[in-house]
Amino acid sequence: MDYEEPQFFRVMQYAATADRDVIDMVSGNPDWEPPEALRDALREYAGLDPAAFQYPASDGLPELREAIADRRGVDPDQVVVTVGTGEANYLAMARAFERDAGDEAILLDPVYPYYPGKVELLGGTQRLVPTARDGGIDLAAIREAMSDRTALVMVNTPNNPTGAVYDPDAVAEVVRLAERHDALVVVDEVYDRFDHSGRFESALAIDSPNRIVTGGFSKSLAITGFRVGYAITPPEHADSLRARHMLVNVTGPAPSQYAVHHALQATEHEYFAASRELLSDRIDAFTDALEAAGAEYTTPDGGFYVLARFDDFPGTMANVERLIDEAGVAGMPGETFGTAREEWIRFALVTPRAREAAERLAAYFE
Ligand SMILES: Cc1ncc(COP(=O)(O)O)c(C=O)c1O
């Protein structure tokens, strides 16, 4: 079977083997330090008794589940610790399809490319519904697209790639619509700690058996390699998520969960505020330089991606490869995020060289 494979690794590989210095703005790998407590916990873990190196509980170390439940204001029974937010999304999506409640997934366009890939993997059919011009939820379009075939609506806020922070009332309305059509809404909140607008509200505030919230620590603790995420699910879906997680993984990695738990215990708001501030400064520097270059661009309300559009230079894979070779800047082609931003290129601001990258782009498009 031919799966729709996300192209991130292809572009990263191309940039890494280029014959010149390239500023990598492809991946979503934070370049800043994790909390010190995380490093301390890893060192401590190495000295533990061998018993600590064996299978942890399948749905996560109990103390980590409790810490997540505590922070998110839910019961620990609703928390399943997963191998990254990516797995949490997969489990929740699989649950949506296994209920004999339709075969269609509504995905908001532009779309994080792993969603269509997963829908396909799960045997579902994707239906792309454009977001509003500013990246916000277009309720009328979603209402029109929903039918009794709809099993799932995927929502991601703060959004990758648009940087939109969705209006909480609009998300609540999507959940109400889903209830009417017996669909599940999966709200991916992996960027919840990067709200620059002050308007982000978790979908956990929406009380419904039809909404599952996913999240993780890859971005907020700057540890994409640790693979710790979670799903927060209403009780009626919890067994399904747990069973699939156990059958696929047995359990998640204990050292990572141990370190994340210790980091959460010790990490104050200042850590997250400092990451947000660092990103805010980069966003300003990058967009100022794009402005000076006369490019069109988005200013993210959340997350750390900027979309930019240059005259007569659509966001194709070929153009992105040209930018790597000729400007020394690597981004992601807009065409890999569905159809709505094919003219655009996405830049991840997880590099201290963001301003330099924008200056290179400005010089290239002069
Ligand atoms: C919207 C979205 N969801 C999920 C993920 C994957 O997160 P994790 O590393 O926790 O699996 C990413 C990573 O870039 C993302 O952008």
CATH number of the domain within which 337 lies: 3.90.1150.10
What are the helix (H) ranges across 99-234?
114-121, 139-145, 168-180
* Pair (315, 248) in one structural domain: no
219 alpha carbon to ligand 1 midpoint, in Å? Answer: 8
Is residue 225 domain-shared with residue 126, that is, in the same domain? Answer: yes
Instruction: Give me 6's structure tokens.
Output: 């996300």
Per-residue pLDDT tens over the stretch 237-273: 999 999 999 999 999 999 999 999 999 999 889 999 9
Query: Over the stretch 181-239, which tens digit does the pLDDT of each residue have?
Result: 999 999 999 999 999 999 999 999 999 999 999 999 999 999 999 999 999 999 999 99
292: confidence class by pLDDT, cuts 50, 70, 90: confident
- Among 244, 266, 288, the domain-final residue is 266
| Closest residue by Cα to residue 241 from 77, 6, 9 | 77
Q: CA-CA distance, 189 to 61, in Å (whole number)?
A: 21
Parent domain of 316:
8-34+269-365
Q: Is the CB of 84 under 6 A from ligand 1?
A: yes
Percent of the chain with pLDDT over 90: 95
- pLDDT for residue 4 is more than 90: no
Single out the residue of 81, 121, 80, 130 nearest to residue 97, CA to CA.
121
Check whether residue 168 and residue 232 sit in a common domain.
Answer: yes
**Ligand 1 geometric centre to CA of 138 (Å):** 23
Least confident interval from 103-107, 260-264, 355-359: 355-359
Buried b (16+ CB within 10 A) or exposed e, 161-190: bbbbbbebebbbbbbebbeebebbbbbbbb
- Determine the atom of ligand 1 nearest the C-alpha atom of 303: 16
Kindly state the tokens that stand for 2.
């031919």
Ligand 1 pocket test target in 8, 160, 166, 228 with most atoms within 8 Å of CB = 160
Q: Which two tokens stand for residue 38?
A: 């995380």
Q: Does 251 share its domain with 275?
A: no
Instruction: For residue 3, tell me if it sits in a domain.
Output: no
Residue 181 shares a structural domain with residue 324 = no
Q: How far is the CA of 59 from the centre of ligand 1 (A)?
A: 19
Final residue before a domain boundary, out of 247, 266, 285: 266
CATH number at residue 228: 3.40.640.10
Which of 266, 281, 314 is the last residue before a domain boundary? 266
Ligand 1 close to Cβ of residue 131 (< 6 A): no
What is the pTM assigned to this prediction? 0.97
**Residue 88 alpha carbon, nearest atom of ligand 1:** 11
Q: Are residues 279 and 195 in the same domain?
A: no
Q: Whose CA is nearest to atom 7 of ligand 1?
A: 85
- Work out whether strand 329-330 and strand 23-24 pair parallel, antiparallel, or are unpaired: parallel
Tell me if 49 is assigned to some domain.
no
- Asked if residue 82 lies in contact with residue 91, where contact means CB atoms within 8 angstroms, the answer is yes
CA 112 – CA 175 distance, rounded (Å): 20
Per-residue model confidence as pLDDT tens digits over 166-182: 999 999 999 999 999 99
Question: 86 CB under 6 A from ligand 1?
Answer: yes
Q: pLDDT at residue 356 above 90? A: yes
Whether residues 231 and 139 fall in one domain: yes
Write down the number of H helices and E strands in the chain: 12, 13
Please check whether residues 120 and 19 belong to one and the same domain.
no
Indicate whether 5 pLDDT > 80: no
